[in-house]
Amino acid sequence: MTVPRPFTPADTSARHWRFLLLFALANAGGTIGYLPLFTVFLPMKVEAVAGVDRLNLFTLVALIGTLAAIGANLGFGWLSDRSVARGHGRRRWLLLGIVGLALSYALFARATSPLGVLLAVVAVQCAANAVLAPLLALMADEIPDAQKGFTGGLLALANPIGAATAWALVKLPGLSETGRLCLLSLAIALLIVPLAFSTARRLPTHAAPIPRAVARRNLAVAWIARLLLQSAGNGLTLYLYYYFADLPPRQAAIDAADFVSRTLVLAYLLPLPCTLLLGRLSDRIGRRKPFLLGAAAVTAGGLAVMALAATRPVAVAGFLVYGVGAQVFMALHGAFWMQELPSERHRGRDLGILNLTNTLPALIGTAVAWLAAMPGSFAPLLFLLSGLTFAGGLVMLMVREPAPAGQG
C-alpha cells in the first residue's frame, strides 16, 4: 500500500510559505464577501426597507440566500472542474467572483424594496461562491498533502479578518452605506487579486494512498462528522447572546451585545496558534484522525462546561475551549477531506458536496435549538449540542487512514 510522503524541505512539490499566505488571504477575501453582509449590512437594510416586518423579511432572505449559496457552490465548483479539464485553470473564476461581488453590492446599495434586497443577496451569495468553490479546489490541486494541515490552520484567519472588517466598516465615520460597500468591494479585491494572478503549479500525479472505495467511505464518514459538529455550532450561535445575557452579572442590552462581540473576537483569535501548530504536526506525522478525535472531545467538553456554568467567567472559559476545539477540528477536517478526494477531475464538485456541511447546519442547528432551548435554562440545549459534537468525533473512528511513513 502506498503511504503519504512525509514533507521535507527538499520536496519539490512543497509550496513556499508566501503562496500559502496568499491562499489564506484570498480565502479571507471570499469570506468577507458575505460575512459583513449578514452580520451588519443586511440587518440594517431590512430595518430600513421592512420596518415592523423586519424579522420575517430577514428570515426569508437568509433562507433563500442559503439555498442560492448551496447551488452556486456546487455549480461553480463543477464549472471550475470543466475549466481545468480544458487547460484553463481555476483562477479566472476568482476574477469573475471579484467583479460579481462589486456589482452585487452596488445592486444591494440601490435596493429599496424587499424584492430588491432579496435579489441583491442572492447575487452576493452566487458571486462569493464563484470565489470560494474554485479557491478550495485550487488548494487540492496545488498544495501537497504534507502542507494541507498547516494551510488549513491558516484558513482560520478568515473569521477574525471578517469580524474585524465588519467592525471597521461600521465604525468609520462620515460614510454612507454606498461608501462602506465600495470599501468592502475594494478590500475583497485586494485580498483575492494577488492569488488570482499568481503562477499555477499543479501537483504531480501520485498513486492514491488508499483504494478509491475506501476513500469514498472515508469521505462519507467525515461528511457526517462535520455535519454533526457544524449543526451543534449553529445551534450554539443562535442563542449565544441570550445565553451570556442571562448569566450574572446582568447587563443592559447594549452592554451585553458589546460583551458578546468582544468574546467572539477573542474566540476567533485564540485558536489561531493552535490550528497552525497542530496542523503542522499532523503534516509531519502524516495522520489527521487522532487530532480530529481529540479536537471533537475538546469541543464537546467546552460545551459541557458552558452547560454547567453558573457564572460568566466560567461560561466564557467554556466557550473559549469550545472555540479552540471547533476551529482545530474544522481546519484539519478540511485538510483530511482534500487529500481523500477520489478523482482529480471532480475536485470542485466534490468540495461543493463538503460545503453542504457548512450550509445545511443552518437549518438543522436552528431546529435543534428551537426544540431543546428552555426559558431560563440553556443547559439542556448545551448538553444536547455537546452530545452531537462528541458523536461527530466517535463517527471519525470509522475512518481508515494509511499508516504513516515508516510504519506498516
Domain 212-398 classified CATH 1.20.1250.20? yes
Cβ atoms of 69 and 359 within 8 Å: the answer is yes
Q: What is the pLDDT of residues 153-169, one digit of tens each?
A: 888 888 888 878 877 88
Residue 106 has pLDDT above 70, yes or no: yes
Q: What is the pLDDT of residues 24-47, one digit of tens each?
A: 999 999 999 988 888 778 878 888
Cα angle 189, 258, 56; round to 5: 70
Q: What is the pLDDT of residues 147-204, one digit of tens each?
A: 888 888 888 888 888 878 877 887 788 888 899 999 999 999 999 999 999 988 877 7
When pLDDT is averaged across residues 254-279 and rounded to a whole number, the result is 81
- Name the nearest CA neighbour of 233 among 294, 302, 279: 302
C-alpha 211/C-alpha 313 separation (Å) is 49
The residue ranges of every structural domain in the chain are 17-146+154-196, 212-398
pLDDT for residue 8: 39
Across 119-128, 168-177, 248-257, 263-272, least confident range: 248-257
CA distances from 116 to 49, 113, 128, 345 (A): 10, 5, 18, 38
Cell digits of residue 374: 428552555
Collapsing DSSP to helix, strand or coil, 377 comes out as strand
271, with CB counted inside 10 A (0-12, 13-18, 19+), is: buried
- Which residues, 6 or more positions from 144, have their beta carbon under 8 angstroms from its beta carbon? 7, 11, 13, 14, 15, 203
pLDDT for residue 209: 57
pLDDT for residue 51: 75
The CATH T-level fold of domain 17-146+154-196 is: Growth Hormone; Chain: A; (1.20.1250)
Count Cα atoms within 13 angstroms, Cβ side, for 366.
7
Cell digits of residue 198: 499568481
Residue 241 has pLDDT above 80, yes or no: no
pTM of the model: 0.77
When pLDDT is averaged across residues 327-341 and rounded to a whole number, the result is 85
pLDDT for residue 348: 79
pLDDT band of residue 342 (cuts 50, 70, 90) is: low
Share of the chain above pLDDT 90, in %: 37
pLDDT band of residue 141 (cuts 50, 70, 90) is: confident
- DSSP symbols for 35-58: HHIIIIIHHHHHHHHHGGGHHHHH
C-alpha 279/C-alpha 263 separation (Å) is 24
Maximum Cα–Cα distance across the chain: 65
Give the E-state strand segments of 190-346 in sequence order: none
Cell digits of residue 69: 449559496
Cell digits of residue 89: 485553470
Q: Which residue has the cell 504536526?
A: 281
Cβ atoms of 77 and 137 within 8 Å: the answer is yes
Residue 2 has pLDDT above 50, yes or no: no
C-alpha 392/C-alpha 118 separation (Å) is 34
Residue 63 has pLDDT above 90, yes or no: no
177, with CB counted inside 10 A (0-12, 13-18, 19+), is: middle
12, with CB counted inside 10 A (0-12, 13-18, 19+), is: exposed
Residue 401 has pLDDT above 80, yes or no: no
Q: Which residue has the cell 519539490?
A: 12
Average pLDDT of the chain, as a whole number:
84
Do 17-146+154-196 and 212-398 have matching folds? yes
Q: What distance, in Å, lies between the first and last C-alpha atoms of the chain?
A: 9
pLDDT for residue 10: 38
Residue 253 has pLDDT above 70, yes or no: no
- Name the nearest CA neighbour of 184 among 46, 35, 48, 49: 35
pLDDT band of residue 256 (cuts 50, 70, 90) is: low
CB atoms inside a 10 Å sphere around CB 259: 16
C-alpha 228/C-alpha 265 separation (Å) is 24
Instruction: Output DSSP code: residue 247.
Output: S
Rg from Cα positions in the chain:
21
C-alpha 142/C-alpha 159 separation (Å) is 23
Residue 375 has pLDDT above 70, yes or no: no
- Which residues, 6 or more positions from 223, have their beta carbon under 8 angstroms from its beta carbon? 353, 354, 356, 357
Cβ atoms of 241 and 256 within 8 Å: the answer is yes
Residue 273 has pLDDT above 60, yes or no: yes
Residue 404 has pLDDT above 80, yes or no: no
Instruction: Output DSSP code: residue 203.
Output: P
Across 68-82, 138-152, 325-339, 346-360, least confident range: 346-360
Query: Quick one: CA torsion of 138, 143, 146, 150, rounded to 10 degrees?
Result: -80
Residue 306 has pLDDT above 90, yes or no: yes
When pLDDT is averaged across residues 99-120 and rounded to a whole number, the result is 95
CA dihedral sign of residues 291, 297, 298, 300: positive
pLDDT for residue 205: 64
